[in-house]
Amino acid sequence: MPFAAFWAVSRFNFRSQNKIPPLTLAWMFEQIVILDFGSQYTQVIARRVRECNVYSRILRYDTPAREIGKLNPRGIVLSGGPASVYAPKAPMPDGRIFKLGVPILGICYGLQLFAQFLGGRVEKGHKREYGKGTLRVTDSYCPLFASLPETLQVWNSHGDKLTTLPAGFKSAAITENSEYAAVEDRRRKFFGLQFHPEVAHTPLGRGIIANFVHAICGCGKTWTMRDYIGRAIGEIREQVGEDNVILGLSGGVDSSVAAALLHRAIGGRLTCIFVNNGLLRAQEADTVREVFGRHFQIRLKYVDASKRFLKKLRGVTDPERKRKVIGREFIAVFNDAVAELKKGRATGGGRYRFLAQGTLYPDVIESVPIAGNPAALIKSHHNVGGLPRKMKLELVEPLKCLFKDEVRELGLELGLPREIVLRQPFPGPGLAVRIPGEVTPQRCAMLRQADSIVVEEMKASGWYYKIWQNFAVLLPVRSVGVMGDERTYDYTIAIRAVESQDGMTADWVRLPYELLEKLAGRIINEVKGVNRCVFDITSKPPGTIEWE
Ligand code: XMP
């Protein structure tokens, strides 16, 4: 999808510069602030809070207490982190957060931090406590565990141990290895957990988080996508005024939902540009034109640049060069389309002043560069090139405080079809990175057909919506086969199906043999030029999801 390529190249260059992103929403919704000390689970905490219908936002661990206070949070969560609180360069919060009069929940490192800050003692444990444990609640009045059983399965991951409680605190729960697995100072509403309530391995952890945000912080269930639509529309209208917005539509979830939301806010003053780069999947261009052009009646500028892209890709075999060629070409095509629009008359007389992007919350969270935090890693191939600033358009990013699952919910709420809202990710360079070697129109056609068989069968068997991605790869390998009475010498298709949370790591999906048999049978029979199918059983790491 072309816009995804554009998106991928643009997100690091056009990102908002503010440390605390200026989201007016911050003042509209009750919120919980999460201070990030570099845990790999910080975003999971934020998502869990939002699942309780409470808005949450992640800030750097050292955000000044004054800035936090201005946001008027109902509560603060201190995340875990890879450091030791007694290490010389341990990340420390602004100590004045403990004087804001706001409830605080410290998780793992967060607990050890506030315990040390408030006069307790943390030491290196004899052994690292890692994995499942059993928690026994010893204070049945502790509001964190209200309505939860007395014993709970929890997930631990820590090497340090709280050995002395600060004044005013008492233990609320214990595990085999810790008498301070949960601690509380009910008067100040400070709570701490040595384990991780946010992860799936703490099955009732959501209940603990719900108790913190509702019972302790007093938040209502105000964060819903239905409410969000109304408020986001107001925000968009205020930003855009009487002017016009251009959006690069790829047909992927993010740009599609952004388009539907913007259209609801400003109607005909939104123009979407859809670039066909010749590397799209079967039916892709038609679906986008049907859904957005005809059904939603959104102004859509369709640019068929497939010949232009395929010409530029002639003879290119190096994966990184392919990406660069496609990224560069996309920018050129998009620029031309914008220039054409600007030359024409905009609807309502306003100017084309804005460029809308489907930037999501994880892209604007400033990652905390603490050793051992995998969240701080950025994939290099998503960070290539750069959008020319000469486009001179201001950014509108109506999804920038949403997580992916919220964007999907919002899409459904806006009436987008499930086919679009629940679709799997598709890389910006499209089929080109699934054709190792040279990309030719014939190879694209073969792969397109094989891919559509994979998608069709995965949907029919119900697997498509359960997993992260499934697709076909056309290998540049020919092998001998027999079909009927004839000897063949044809290409190979690799089938890939992976499970993942965010694409950073992935596991191959154990598809049933019957389904694999059906896929291989159909591909070999129906795709001319293919006589062999293989199934990729590589996880990431050490492999990557795409083959290039
Ligand atoms: P890898 O292959 O790095 O892929 O394991 C991780 C996720 O990213 C997608 N991907 C891309 N997306 N531009 C994109 O917009 C790209 O160049 C690109 N390369 C990989 C991939 O489909 C998977 O979901």
Spacing, Cα 546 to ligand 1 middle (Å) = 6
Which of 9, 381, 451 gets mutated to test ligand 1 (max ligand atoms within 8 A of its CB)?
381
Phi, psi values for residue 417, rounded to 5° = -70, 150
pTM for the whole structure: 0.88
Nearest CA to ligand 1 atom 3: 544
Nearest CA to ligand 1 atom 14: 427
pLDDT value of residue 380: 35
Phi, psi values for residue 219, rounded to 5° = -75, 140
Spacing, Cα 202 to ligand 1 middle (Å) = 30
Nearest CA to ligand 1 atom 22: 427
Q: How far apart are CA 14 and CA 293, in angstroms?
A: 28
Spacing, Cα 425 to ligand 1 middle (Å) = 8
Identified catalytic residue from 52, 108, 272, 444: 108
415: tokens are 């009436």
Confidence of residue 387 (pLDDT cuts 50, 70, 90): low
Q: What percentage of the chain exceeds 90 in pLDDT?
A: 80
Spacing, Cα 427 to ligand 1 middle (Å) = 5
Judged against a pLDDT cut of 60, whether residue 424 lies above it is answered with yes
Query: Of all helices (H) and strands (E), which one includes residue 197?
Result: none
CATH class, range 31-216 = alpha beta
Identified catalytic residue from 129, 184, 196, 533: 196
- The predicted-structure confidence for 94-148, as pLDDT tens digits, reads as follows 999 999 999 999 999 999 999 999 999 998 877 777 888 999 999 999 999 999 9
Q: Do 2-14+224-421 and 31-216 come out as alike in CATH topology? A: yes
pLDDT value of residue 28: 75
pLDDT value of residue 224: 95
Name the one residue in this structure whose structure tokens are 């209502």. 220
Identified catalytic residue from 30, 129, 184, 198: 198
Amino acid (one-letter) located at 295: H
Which of 254, 424, 545 gets mutated to test ligand 1 (max ligand atoms within 8 A of its CB)?
545
Q: How far apart are CA 378 and CA 374, in angstroms?
A: 9
What CATH number was assigned to the domain covering residues 2-14+224-421? 3.40.50.620
Higher pLDDT, 470 or 370: 470
Spacing, Cα 417 to ligand 1 middle (Å) = 24
Nearest CA to ligand 1 atom 6: 503
Confidence of residue 378 (pLDDT cuts 50, 70, 90): very low
What is the CB < 6 Å shell around ligand 1?
A: 4, 8, 323, 379, 381-382, 425, 427-429, 469, 503, 540, 544-546
Q: Cβ neighbours of residue 107 under 8 Å, at least 6 residues apart?
A: 39, 45, 77, 78, 79, 80, 192, 193, 196, 197, 198
pLDDT value of residue 484: 86
State which ligand 1 atom lies nearest to the alpha carbon of 8. Answer: 15
The full 3-state SS of 206-275, as one line of letters, equals HHHHHHHHHHHCCCCCCCCHHHHHHHHHHHHHHHHCCCEEEEECCCCHHHHHHHHHHHHHHHHHEEEEEE
- The predicted-structure confidence for 241-266, as pLDDT tens digits, reads as follows 999 999 999 999 999 999 999 999 99
Q: DSSP letter at 361?
A: H
CB atoms within 10 A of CB 364: 17
Cβ distance 148 to 182 under 8 Å?
A: no
Q: How far apart are CA 145 and CA 260, in angstroms?
A: 41
Residue of 33, 82, 9 whose CA lies nearest to 374: 82
**CATH 3.30.300.10: does it fit domain 440-536?**
yes
Nearest CA to ligand 1 atom 9: 427
Confidence of residue 41 (pLDDT cuts 50, 70, 90): very high
Spacing, Cα 3 to ligand 1 middle (Å) = 13
Confidence of residue 159 (pLDDT cuts 50, 70, 90): confident
| 108 catalytic per annotation | yes
pLDDT value of residue 22: 52
Higher pLDDT, 290 or 377: 290
Average pLDDT over the chain reads 90
Region of 375 (left: φ > 0; alpha: ψ -120 to 50; beta: rest) is alpha
Query: What is the β-pairing status of strands 299-304 and 190-193?
Result: unpaired
Q: Where are the domains of the chain?
A: 2-14+224-421, 31-216, 440-536
pLDDT value of residue 376: 44
The sign of the torsion formed by the CA atoms of 527, 532, 536, 537 equals positive
Phi, psi values for residue 516, rounded to 5° = -60, -40
Nearest CA to ligand 1 atom 18: 427
Judged against a pLDDT cut of 60, whether residue 536 lies above it is answered with yes
Q: What percentage of the chain exceeds 70 in pLDDT?
A: 90
Q: Cβ neighbours of residue 160 under 8 Å, at least 6 residues apart?
A: 84, 85, 86, 112, 122, 123, 124, 125
pLDDT value of residue 365: 86
Which of 7, 544, 546 gets mutated to test ligand 1 (max ligand atoms within 8 A of its CB)?
546
Q: How far apart are CA 389 and CA 207, in angstroms?
A: 47
Judged against a pLDDT cut of 70, whether residue 498 lies above it is answered with yes
Judged against a pLDDT cut of 70, whether residue 371 lies above it is answered with no
Helices 225-240 & 253-266 angle (0-180, nearest 10): 70
Least-confidence region, from 303-307, 374-378, 523-527: 374-378
pLDDT value of residue 389: 61
Nearest CA to ligand 1 atom 21: 427
| 158 catalytic per annotation | no
Cβ distance 194 to 178 under 8 Å?
A: yes
| 406 catalytic per annotation | no
Q: Is 473 helix (H, G, I), strand (E, B) or coil?
A: strand
Confidence of residue 352 (pLDDT cuts 50, 70, 90): very high
Q: How far apart are CA 226 and CA 409, in angstroms?
A: 9
Q: How far apart are CA 345 and CA 487, in angstroms?
A: 61
E strand residue ranges, 325-468: 352-356, 394-396
- The predicted-structure confidence for 448-496, as pLDDT tens digits, reads as follows 999 999 999 999 999 999 999 999 999 999 999 998 889 999 999 999 9
- The predicted-structure confidence for 337-348, as pLDDT tens digits, reads as follows 999 998 887 666
